[in-house]
Structure 1
């Protein structure tokens, strides 16, 4: 494994693959560089002198500018680099479309085809409260139902999708909650759904069911807790009915073009963009190349790399949607008096990321070279196959819940710092560095740092796709899924009364 890594030939910084000591000599190509300070793993080193005011280049793009003269061999981080980013920007469409060519036969997985044509990868029963007041009874029903009915070849258990929302919300804030819950109620990983209302909440059925729209009463049951004597007993009777319906479904062979994958990242480090996200980007290219769908969010972590996504828009209409996606999110920051580019986080900086541009250029690697086929607003569902963007925050809980509610049946999450979190659908976690991945083997499903240790990117991407298809087919569970880690969260944007 090399001591350092250069990402792009135009870069004026390189990345320390391991911790390096002051005074040691490293090689960048034929050039020898003496280090002027200790360099932590994943952090940047100047490969030539950079004058104050000149751009610092990584991924072949500026990640900020030097705020003082930087000497060859010097440690480059937020003490001597500052972002170039500013306010709302006007953009010009300069299409750079390079359709990905895939070879071989269409890969397949074993999934559940629902009557509405959607294809899921699990056959579960979800119990969803319309309000936090019903969380306790919902959890108790799920506990009792899982004791009564065992998991089988074609039944994957009962799950409570509890949350803190549903009352004391107004206007758009309440609507955000309703859209996400309605989309989850129609998710193909759920063979059956029980919706549990308290009765007097803001998001009661009079308010919520019009958002849900038409539904199959065999698949979705409803209960108002305040209107029954024993909500647990009534709920269990309804779950009995849903169980009989749900177990009528069986897996069948489906093409990769039926798969919808969410890609997301959190706790990123200096390696994320060159290992885990880069490998996942190649997976995105394969899936979309075969006609499947990948959905990406984390809009604030597109700032500084948005021009790359805009120039991969399928047409001017999609380009305009990406422009609105970016600038609308900036206006969201301004509405609350927040600094648009107040990012990365403390953990990101500890991992070697200095500016938001650097974080974004690494984050967007998850999209590979795929053409952007559509852009969705928060709470919308996927309508177009291919590579989709959806409005949402960098916050893992809110962003991933939104992606999964939009239709993703499996999520791949990359991390450099590590996190055990799980969400509504199976989540596969990729590590960006071996130090963390080897320490947290109970969290990390795939260590993408193998590409620094001799494995080529194409081979790693094939292994990752095989893992996704194994999980999708029910042949194995991801680590988070096996531990039963599940949670959902919705965007809050308004007055709490």
Structure 2
């Protein structure tokens, strides 16, 4: 295993790939660097003297400014590095030609729906319109497990606390996300479970759902039923019979839609797991497929790298609005725009938001950005899309699923057990995490700094995603986890 990595030729820092002792002498670019203090794994150290106020460069870009004079070999972290970011900025479109050459078609075994959409799972979803019926929904899930046979992959309820006592955008968000999930092709059948007096009632929700197949979507209003449990079970039996008729068949990977997200990042996230996901994204896009990148606050500081990859001026302007609208959301709530990274991020070696963002956007690969989606908006354009959603793991991952992602790729340096409505693949940035939390982690990218090159790893990873799309369960699915969360901004009545 390497001791350290200098990521870009322009960098004036290197990153420790394992704990390095004070006094260790390293050869970097033909020069000797003696460490002045212990450097934890994933953390940075100076490879040249840095005067106070000078830019600290990592990934070939500034990740902040030195708070004080920093000597060669010194540890660089929050104690001597500060963000260099401001608030709203003026951006100029400097288009980069990042078009990808087409590559050979690949296939996975998925479910073709009558409306032409494709699913990678054939599940029955129980979706409450309001939190008041959550317990009914979860009880129905438990009672229905006996029907998970044949081609029925799972029966899952998605409780949430919303659907009533909401105002403005919050109510719209709830209705939009619920409708998106009801229409998601990973669900072979859906029971929409309402109470009857809520703001987002079944009647209110139907216009958001649009046209639907009555064999696939059933509605039950609990206040209108003498025995909602018995009636709901009858409906679930009908949904199981309908969904059970679907069989897996070969489908082109050009029809795959994959969401990309990271959480619990560490100093290796932007070196191992995120670049691997970026390489996967480029591979899928080159085969005609679609990827979606979200968590807008973790683009701050790296946004120009994305903006300049916009395929045209219109997409550039939408990307500018994406960034500035989210900054305005922060300031409207009297919050600091750059109140990031989290304590766990800092412990793992991430010092500033620029540091985090430059590592985060590695997941986007190099493909052109073809569209920018509003929160809850379904993806319409094949290729790399950006999605308006916060950094919160559950909210952002649910948003990816709602926009049409069949699978969410979730890179992590610290680990997490959660899932979202679609298969949520956990990808470790370091081998120690993969070894320790084998019940959480599906794929280890830590080998990228050990004994595996990127070409080998990206192909292994692409093969693994195809396996998951073809039915292989990820660890959170094996554990029976299905979560969802909706973005809340405003007043609760």
Q: TM-score range by the shorter chain?
A: over 0.9
Q: Which residue of 1 aligns with 2:478?
A: 482
Structure 2 residue 145 is matched with structure 1 residue 146:
yes
Query: CA contact under 8 A between 2:52 and 2:69: conserved in structure 1?
Result: yes
Separation of aligned partners in 2, 1:395 and 1:262:
14
Q: Which residue of 2 aligns with 1:491?
A: 487
Query: CA contact under 8 A between 2:148 and 2:155: conserved in structure 1?
Result: no
Higher alpha-carbon deviation: 162-171 or 21-30: 21-30
Residue 300 of structure 2, aligned match among 285, 299, 303: 303
TM-score, normalising length: structure 1 = 0.98
Query: CA contact under 8 A between 1:52 and 1:70: conserved in structure 2?
Result: yes
| TM superposition shift of 1:100 | 2.2
TM-score, normalising length: structure 2 = 0.99
Query: CA contact under 8 A between 2:282 and 2:367: conserved in structure 1?
Result: yes
Q: Which residue of 2 aligns with 1:190?
A: 187
Query: CA contact under 8 A between 2:91 and 2:320: conserved in structure 1?
Result: yes
Deviations 1:28-84 (A, max 9, x none): 132221111111110001000011111000000000011100000000011111111
Q: Which residue of 2 aligns with 1:458?
A: 455
| TM superposition shift of 1:102 | 4.7
Where do residues 25-44 of structure 1 align in structure 2 (5 Å cutoff)? Answer: 25-44=25-44
Q: Which residue of 2 aligns with 1:208?
A: 205
Q: Which residue of 1 aligns with 2:224?
A: 227
**DSSP-derived class of the 1:332 partner:** helix
Query: CA contact under 8 A between 1:16 and 1:43: conserved in structure 2?
Result: yes
Separation of aligned partners in 1, 2:47 and 2:101:
35
What's the Cα RMSD here? 0.9
| TM superposition shift of 1:197 | 0.2
Deviations 1:450-492 (A, max 9, x none): 1101211111111111111001101x21111111111000000
Deviations 1:176-233 (A, max 9, x none): 0110000000000001100000111111123222222221111111000011111110
Structure 2 residue 138 is matched with structure 1 residue 117:
no
Deviations 1:274-301 (A, max 9, x none): 1000011000000011110000100000
Please list every run of 5 or more consecutive structure 2 residues that lacks an aligned counterpart in the other structure: none
Please list every run of 5 or more consecutive structure 1 residues that lacks an aligned counterpart in the other structure: none
Q: Which residue of 2 aligns with 1:179?
A: 176
Structure 2 residue 152 is matched with structure 1 residue 158:
no
| TM superposition shift of 1:252 | 1.1
Q: Once superposed, which parts of structure 1, at least 4 consecutive aligned residues long, lie more than 2 Å away?
A: 100-103
Separation of aligned partners in 1, 2:139 and 2:350:
44
Separation of aligned partners in 2, 1:2 and 1:204:
58
Separation of aligned partners in 2, 1:98 and 1:208:
41
Q: Which residue of 2 aligns with 1:328?
A: 325
Separation of aligned partners in 1, 2:198 and 2:392:
27
Separation of aligned partners in 1, 2:200 and 2:275:
41
Query: CA contact under 8 A between 2:440 and 2:476: conserved in structure 1?
Result: yes
Query: CA contact under 8 A between 2:367 and 2:384: conserved in structure 1?
Result: yes
